Amino acid sequence: MRRLRQVTKIVREQGPKRLGARLLAAATRRLGVEGEDLPVRMEDVRRADVDERKPVRIPPIPPGGRLTINWVTTPPSKGSGGHTTMFRLIRHLESVGHTCKLYLYDTFGNSVADLEPGIRAAFPFFQGSIHDVTDGMADAHAVFATAWITAYPAFNDPCQGKRFYLVQDYEPWFYPQGGLYTLAENTYRMGMHGFTAGRFLADKVLDEHGMPADHFDFGCDADRYSLRGEQRDGIVFYARRKAPRRAFELGLLALELFAERHPDLKIHVYGEKIGQLGPQFVDHGLVTPDELNAIYNRCFAGLSLSMTNVSLVPHEMLAAGCIPVVNDAHFNRVVLDNDHVRYAAPTPHSLARALSEVVTSPDFDATARAAASSVEGRSWDAAGLELEKVLGRELAP
């Protein structure tokens, strides 16, 4: 029944030709042939004249300053770091009395009725309503795009509300130089106000695209990640084969070199199931935050690679006294800004060498305690407070 609703919705919104293209792409993928589905509706792109500067219309703010905020998002899923950060911000805004509404941008024909139970289960604290953005948005004081593909419907919709853009990565880098790269890059020219994960992104979108932006610093969920003083038996790797920016292949080569040097240590892998790699590897797959904290506390070091903006992982590792080994890059150093992170050139041998240096370092217990203390007080409340401040300033009459 759900499949029938998906097919009907795709035909209604995108036409029978688009359905045919989707079926062909799915078939080629099953046959192992390269085939990529477009993540954005071409009609949304066609409608968006990014050089047009629409007048900003903001409804009157009621006494007491209670705001209504629309969030245009891809369907949130459990375990998604980007959605988790978005909901942390929403949770703070709701806690101080603002109303937040989700508007889902889904190109796979799913209905809100199909998606809402999973969203509520993954983020049970969320109090707001959930809608389909293709049905149109109600007026709001602020409208947030949350990924490049959602910037197009946020830009096109006629509802009132100042446009903001939650930027958690430089998304053009997710693609080769080409059409999708350019379509993603164009969204930074839509006249929105950015709110970025870390200072690097705020500087980049302003310097390269003229997009004004504020930033928030990464927090750390101290309720989930903490030093427990357990016996450590190896290292850990955040593995995401389906996210090229996480450099899975590079990480795997580094782990193989490390395993040859340290046959007595375990190599814990999490993020997604990757299969049997050898007797030293423990494949945890997708884990809960509590399970992840236990894994971090068993490990001396963690390999966390990001070829774009840094992930949430290094701060989580630090909180558990696990030393992150990160590929050396300007954006990683700017955002992390922590003396306990180990940086290494993005080569298998350099990364393996850095991991070895951590596991053989003397008095590791003292190192772990210092690492954990370095992120004390880095709660996500600060990000929510910063967003409050930005909204107050940008929406002031």
DSSP-derived secondary structure for 113-179: HHHHHHHHHHSTT--S-EEEGGG-----SEEEE-SHHHHHHHHH----SEEEEEE-S-GGGGS-TTH
Going by pLDDT thresholds of 50, 70 and 90, the confidence category of residue 19 is low
Are 94 and 127 in contact by the 8 Å Cβ rule? The answer is yes
Going by pLDDT thresholds of 50, 70 and 90, the confidence category of residue 221 is confident
Name every residue whose Cβ is closer than 8 Å to that of residue 197 and which is 6 or more positions away in sequence.
85, 167, 168, 169, 215, 216, 218, 309, 335
Measured distance CA(69)–CA(141) in Å, rounded = 6
Q: What is the CA radius of gyration of the chain?
A: 22
Name every residue whose Cβ is closer than 8 Å to that of residue 128 and which is 6 or more positions away in sequence.
90, 94, 99, 100, 101, 102
pLDDT at 8 exceeding the cut of 90: no
Measured distance CA(54)–CA(191) in Å, rounded = 9
User: 290 is written with which tokens?
Assistant: 């509590």
Q: How many CB atoms lie within 10 A of CB 15?
A: 12
DSSP-derived secondary structure for 77-124: -TT-HHHHHHHHHHHHHHHTT-EEEEEE--SS---HHHHHHHHHHHST
Q: Looking at residue 242, what is its pLDDT?
A: 86
Measured distance CA(183)–CA(387) in Å, rounded = 27
Going by pLDDT thresholds of 50, 70 and 90, the confidence category of residue 103 is very high
pLDDT over 70, % of the chain: 91
Q: Looking at residue 16, what is its pLDDT?
A: 59
Measured distance CA(331)–CA(392) in Å, rounded = 29
Measured distance CA(346)–CA(329) in Å, rounded = 9
Chain center to CA of 54: 29
Helix (H) / strand (E) element for 334: namely helix 330-336
| Exposure class string for 290-314: b at 16+ Cβ within 10 A, else e | eebbebbbbbbbbbbbbbbbbbbbb
Q: Looking at residue 63, what is its pLDDT?
A: 93
> 353-360, long-range: CB within 8 Å, 24+ apart, which pairs?
354/301, 354/325, 355/235, 355/254, 355/258, 355/301, 355/303, 355/325, 356/258, 356/261, 356/262, 358/235, 358/300, 358/301, 358/323, 358/325, 359/235, 359/262, 359/265, 359/300, 359/301
pLDDT over 90, % of the chain: 82
Measured distance CA(52)–CA(303) in Å, rounded = 44
Q: Please state at what angle helix 16-30 crosses helix 2-14, rounded to 10 degrees.
A: 130
**pTM score, whole prediction:** 0.87
Chain center to CA of 61: 31
| Residue 336, phi then psi, degrees to nearest 5 | -75, -50
Cross-strand partners of 250 = none
pLDDT tens, position by position, 164-206: 999 999 999 999 999 999 999 999 999 999 999 999 999 999 9
Measured distance CA(354)–CA(331) in Å, rounded = 19
User: Lowest-pLDDT range, 16-20, 80-84, 233-237?
Assistant: 16-20
Mean pLDDT for 320-329 is 97
Q: Are strands 68-73 and 99-104 parallel, antiparallel or unpaired?
A: parallel
| Residue 73, phi then psi, degrees to nearest 5 | -145, 150
How far is the first Cα of the chain from the last one, in angstroms, to the nearest whole number? 49
Name every residue whose Cβ is closer than 8 Å to that of residue 222 and which is 6 or more positions away in sequence.
319, 376, 378, 379
Mean pLDDT for 345-365 is 97
Work out the mean pLDDT of the chain and round it to a whole number. Answer: 92
- Which is more confident, 251 or 9? 251
Three-class DSSP category at 283: strand
pLDDT at 315 exceeding the cut of 50: yes
Q: Smallest Cα–Cα separation from 326: which of 311, 383, 61?
A: 311
